[in-house]
Structure 1
Amino acid sequence: MALSDQDIEALKGISTATITTILLKKGLRNIWMRGAKPLLPGQPRIAGPAFTLRFVPAREDLATPASWASPISTRAAIEDMPPGCVVVADAMGVTDAGIFGDILCARMVKRGVAALVTDGVMRDVDGVVGTGLPVWCNGYAAPPSVAGLTFVAWQQPVGCGGVAVFPDDMIVVDQDGAVIVPKDMVEILLTEGPEQEQVEAWIMSEVEKGVPLPGLYPMNEETKQRYKNS
């Protein structure tokens, strides 16, 4: 079942650090995508359903500029992207071929894409920044995608930054990177996330008052009671 706009807004209020902590307690250790770093500082926290793209190693007969006009192409995939999705591109960690540039990113903006996340790199960086599309990636490179990758599919399970991502998993991105929230665990985050954020804000206020960490972080029973009474 699709999440409501209110649920997605609520997820935007939960940091990726909090998400990883809560899901770690539930047994999920591998939800943070390695190499997916904010292209610019200060990008907003964004949440949305994953729209997946899959690249494989370049093969000379397939990875050609002519392939960009194929029915199986990044261009065709972009026309399937729904508003509000977070595009997750599995580029196998390749860092010497930029998977997207300014023209494709500009089209994603027109499609209403919320953000792009990849373990690969971008090209035409000045132009990409100019489109306003928030991007999390592993850097930038001048060569085009076909110099190192072959695009093969969209909306399939992928591995991005060492993390299994399925279409419609929820993605949350902020300055600490990109995490996935499995669809059946979103409700747990919506229940526990805001409370943990509130607790940690209170702990920070105590630290600023000069309270020592032992018994405060993590809280012992006395501190828990003090928090409840605050």
Structure 2
Amino acid sequence: MDAKTDTTDLNIARAARFDTATLSDALDKLGIAGQCYRIKPRDSAFRMAGRAWTLLYGPAGNPAGTVGDYIDDVPPGSVIVLDNGGRDNATVWGDILTEIAHRRGIAGTVIDGVCRDTYLCRELGYAVFSKDHWMRTGKDRVQVEAIGVPVNIGDARVAPGDIVVGDSDGVVVIPKTHEDKVLDTAQAIDAAEQRIREAVRGGMRLDEARRQFKYHQLQTRQGA
């Protein structure tokens, strides 16, 4: 995977080598719900891998709180994870944040909700993943509730420090407490699928190759 990653973090580097489909299969095999439902890249070329930096939004109070002046405190290589409760009527990310995040070397942004100014993230190649995009501001509509807390993104729980990987198929979250096992499982699945491809290229029937390398059990939950 061609992603902006922290090469000093070995498990981030490992995770970046797999596509989200392989990681999703590994999560399924281990019974971990880490697939972010309906969270999609604003450009199919976007790739990212990093550790989650989380922020939770809620409805604006009276007087309204801020949508957040946090960007200068996000460590380079992080994935900014914004839980806006799936709202599609107000955005919490736009061109100024995109420009600064890109310049600071942040790996990408994931939003349970919508973003705007998508032209710039595409122009800069800064990875933004969200439910959709729309232009209306979140100012005076939502406000920051908490930073650095567990959040929900497309029905997946994301805690600070979890590994977040995104590509053309969407976003997956690997819980920090299980990351070694998930990555080991992904590596085994990837190796088995590669052996199937090589066998078929060598003339074997696909159904035989799948039987030989246990393709139909690759995603079966352990113990099932």
CA RMSD of aligned residues (A): 2.4
**Cα pair 2:49 2:79 within 8 Å, conserved:** yes
Query: 1:56 is matched with which residue?
Result: 58
Counterparts of 1:1-230 in structure 2 under 5 Å? 4-28=8-32, 30-44=33-47, 46-62=48-64, 67=66, 73-75=67-69, 77-146=70-139, 148-207=141-200, 209=203, 211-213=205-207, 216-217=210-211, 219=213
Percent identity over the alignment is 29
Q: Select the structure of larger CA radius of gyration.
A: 1
Q: Distance in 1 between matches of 2:163 and 2:138?
A: 26
Letter in 1 for 2:116: R
Q: Distance in 2 between matches of 1:212 and 1:112?
A: 43
Q: Distance in 2 between matches of 1:124 and 1:56?
A: 22
Q: Deviations over 1:152-200 (max 9, x none)?
A: 2221111111111110011111112111111121111332322321211
TM-score by length of 2: 0.83
Letter in 1 for 2:100: R
Q: What are the ranges of 5 or more consecutive residues in structure 1 without an aligned counterpart?
A: 68-72, 222-230
Q: Deviations over 1:31-71 (max 9, x none)?
A: 11122101101223x221100011112345315xxx3xxxx
Query: 1:228 is matched with which residue?
Result: none
User: Number of paired residues?
Assistant: 209
Report the secondary structure of 1:95's partner residue.
strand
Shift of 1:206: 3.7
Report the secondary structure of 1:172's partner residue.
strand
Report the secondary structure of 1:51's partner residue.
strand
Letter in 2 for 1:126: Y
Q: Would you tell me which structure has more strand in proportion to its own residues?
A: 2
Q: What are the ranges of 5 or more consecutive residues in structure 2 without an aligned counterpart?
A: 1-5, 216-224
Q: Deviations over 1:199-227 (max 9, x none)?
A: 11222344454614267157359xxxxxx
Q: Distance in 1 between matches of 2:211 and 2:80?
A: 36
Q: Distance in 2 between matches of 1:154 and 1:120?
A: 17
Q: Distance in 1 between matches of 2:36 and 2:183?
A: 21
Q: Deviations over 1:3-32 (max 9, x none)?
A: 94333211111222222222222221x211
Q: Distance in 2 between matches of 1:193 and 1:25?
A: 9
Structure 1 residues 3 and 184, CA gap change in structure 2 (3 angstroms): farther
Structure 1 residues 109 and 212, CA gap change in structure 2 (3 angstroms): closer
